[in-house]
Structure 1
C-alpha cells in the first residue's frame, strides 16, 4: 500500500485541520476487497472491531444509505448491523456519532483498522472521553470540536489527516504491547524497511435525517523506505520529526523510535537537517 497523503508536510503537531471537500470525494477507495479483510475480523474478533448501542440502528441505516448512494446499491445483508453492512463495502472504518444526554457520543462503530484501542473500549464515549489520551485536547480543542459537530451542515463533508510511526505493517493493531516489544530487535541498518508510516484520512459528515454524524477513518500504511527513495521527501519528514512538540511526541510515543529513525536519517545524509 503506497501512501496517498503526507500530512507531516503541513503540520508536525496535533491540529484540528479540517477542510471541506466535495461530497463526491467523501470516500477514497483504494482497496479491492475490504469485505474480505473486515469479515474475517468480524467473525473471529467481533468485540474488538464492532460495537453498537441501543437505539443506534436508525442512524446506522442512514449511513448505509449514504454509502449506497455513493457506490451504488448492494444485495441485502441479512443479519448484519446496517453500519457494518456499510463499512464492509469501503476501506474506511465508520463511526456513528449521535447527541445523547447533552453530549456527542460514539453510538456504533466498525473498527477494522484501529490503532491501540478496541470497539468495546470506546463505544458510548463522549468526544471528551474519546480524546482524553490526546495531551491538551480538552483545553485546546474540545470547545471547537463541539462547535464543528453542532454546526455541521448536511451538504458539507470535512476532511483532516494525521500521522504516526509504528513497527507494524498490520492495519488492525488493537494492542501496542506486542508491537513495542519487538522494537529492540530491529536492526538499525534495516530500520527504513521495518518502520511503517501510518497515515489516517478522517472525514466527518452530517446525517440529515437522524441528525447524527458519520466519522470515517481511512488508514494508509507504507514503510519509511518509501520516503527514503526521495531525499527531499525524507528531509521534509525529518523536519517534522524533529519539530514535533513534546506533547505530540509523548502521545504518539515517537521516543521509542528515535534511535532507529536517526539511523535512517544518517544513512540518507540528513544528520544535520533541520
Structure 2
C-alpha cells in the first residue's frame, strides 16, 4: 500500500488524484504478482532434484492387463502325420542382422510328429545331467517360470487338443501319459523346477531373461537340453551382451548389441517376434555335438573338432527362436526350437543345394570361423555343387526359384 500513499500525498485536483490512484493500484498489483512469481521460482529452484544420468528402465516394470489370445486348434494336427515345417533360412548372400519378423500368437509353439523323439531325448538327457541343463534363480525368475508354465497350461491344450488336456491343477500329456500338477509348484518347499516341466511340454529349449538394476537383461532361468553347441551352465546369470560376446558371435558389438538391447527394453507384451538361424553339424546327435568336444570338457569349440569326411553324417541344424514378454512378470521368454535334418535329405529339394552353397561362400571370415566352415567346407561344397549341377541337368530353371524366406 506504500505506493498508493505516496501518490495521494500531492495536493492535486480530485480527478488527477483518482487517476494516480488507479495507476498506483495497477503498479502494486503488478509488483505483487512479480514478487509471488519470484518466490515460487525460488522455492522450486531450492527443492528441485539435480539432473543426473539415468539408466533406461525396462517396460517390464509396467503393469498390464494383457491376456494371451487363445489360439484355434492347429488344423488337422496329428502326432503321427504332421511333419516339421521345412525351414530353410538361407539366401544366396549373407548379412549379419537381427533378422526378426512379427509373430502371430497362434504360431507361438510349433509341434509335429517328431515330438516323441524330442521328448524322449530331453527326458534321457535330463535324467543323465539335469543339474547342468536346467536352472531357475529364486525370486523373480521363479515367478516368471511359473507364469510361463501357466501360459503353456492354457495355450497348449487349445492349440493341440489331441495332445494336451488342461486339468484343475495342471496339464496332462495324452501321448506320454504324463500328468503335471502345476499348482503344487507354488509350495515353497518343492524342489521341482518349473522350467523342466515347461520344457517337457514342447520341443523347444526355453530361456527367461529379466532386467537388472542397470537396465540390462540377464539370463535367469532356462532348460537348455538340445542346444548342440552351447551349455546353460556357461551362460546362466550373464547379461545379454556377454552371452553373445562370450560365444564370439560375429559382429555383435558393431551391428547387433545396440539395436538388440533397445529392443529388449521396448518390447511390448502384444508384439512377439520370431527369427531363424542355421548351422551345419558334423555328427548326428541332436542334444550335443561331440565333434566340438566332450560336453564336460573345459575347452569346447571348432578348434578341437576333427575334419569332416563323411557327408552322410553332416546335418543341417536350424533354430526357430521366438521372443515374447510375459504380461505379469514382464520377463522375456525365448523359445528355441531346433530343426535337425540330414544334409543329404535337404539337398534333394529343388534349389536348396545351389542356394546353400552360395550362402556358405558369402560367409565373411568371422562368420565362417564361428560356424566352423574350415572343418567341412570342401566336403560340403563339393557335394552341394554336384547336387545343384544334377538339378540343373534335370531341367531346373534358376529363374523360377521361389523367394519365400525362411522356408
For the pair 1:134 / 2:249, whether they are aligned, the reply is yes
Gap regions ≥5 residues in structure 1: none
For the pair 1:44 / 2:157, whether they are aligned, the reply is no
For residues 140-179 of structure 1, the aligned pairs below 5 Å read 140-173=255-288, 176-177=292-293
Of 163, 181, 189, the residue aligned with 1:76 is: 181
For residues 6-45 of structure 1, the aligned pairs below 5 Å read 6-9=88-91, 12-30=94-112, 31-33=114-116, 34-45=118-129
Query: Of Structure 1 and Structure 2, which has the larger fraction of its residues in strand?
Result: 1
Change in CA separation of 1:116 and 1:155 when aligned onto 2, cut-off 3 Å: same
Q: CA deviation at 1:161?
A: 0.2
Q: Deviations over 1:62-87 (max 9, x none)?
A: 11111112113313166421122111
Q: CA deviation at 1:54?
A: 2.5
Of 224, 229, 234, the residue aligned with 1:121 is: 234
Q: CA deviation at 1:39?
A: 2.0
Q: CA deviation at 1:195?
A: 0.9
Q: Which residue of 2 aligns with 1:63?
A: 148
For the pair 1:186 / 2:298, whether they are aligned, the reply is no
Q: CA deviation at 1:148?
A: 1.2
Of structures 1 and 2, the one with the larger relative CO (CA 8 A, separation 6+) is: 1
For residues 237-248 of structure 1, the aligned pairs below 5 Å read 237-248=356-367
Q: CA deviation at 1:239?
A: 1.0
Q: Deviations over 1:165-208 (max 9, x none)?
A: 11122121165225967744624xxx1x2211100000001011
Q: CA deviation at 1:139?
A: 2.1
Contact 1:53 1:123 in 2 (8 A): no
For the pair 1:207 / 2:326, whether they are aligned, the reply is yes
Gap regions ≥5 residues in structure 2: 1-82, 158-165, 172-179, 185-190, 295-300, 393-407
Question: Counterparts of 1:158 and 1:255 in 2: how far apart (Å)?
Answer: 33
Question: Counterparts of 2:276 and 2:325 in 1: how far apart (Å)?
Answer: 19
Q: Deviations over 1:225-264 (max 9, x none)?
A: 1132135221111111111122211111112111111320
Q: TM-score, normalised by structure 1?
A: 0.89
SS of equivalent residue, structure 1 residue 161: strand
Contact 1:47 1:119 in 2 (8 A): no
Change in CA separation of 1:39 and 1:80 when aligned onto 2, cut-off 3 Å: farther
Q: How large is the RMSD of aligned CA atoms in angstroms? A: 2.5
Q: CA deviation at 1:35?
A: 3.6
Size of the aligned set, in residue pairs, is 269
Single out whichever of 57-66 and 222-231 deviates more from structure 2.
222-231
Q: CA deviation at 1:36?
A: 2.7
Q: Deviations over 1:22-53 (max 9, x none)?
A: 11100011233344322221121123311222
Q: TM-score, normalised by structure 2?
A: 0.61
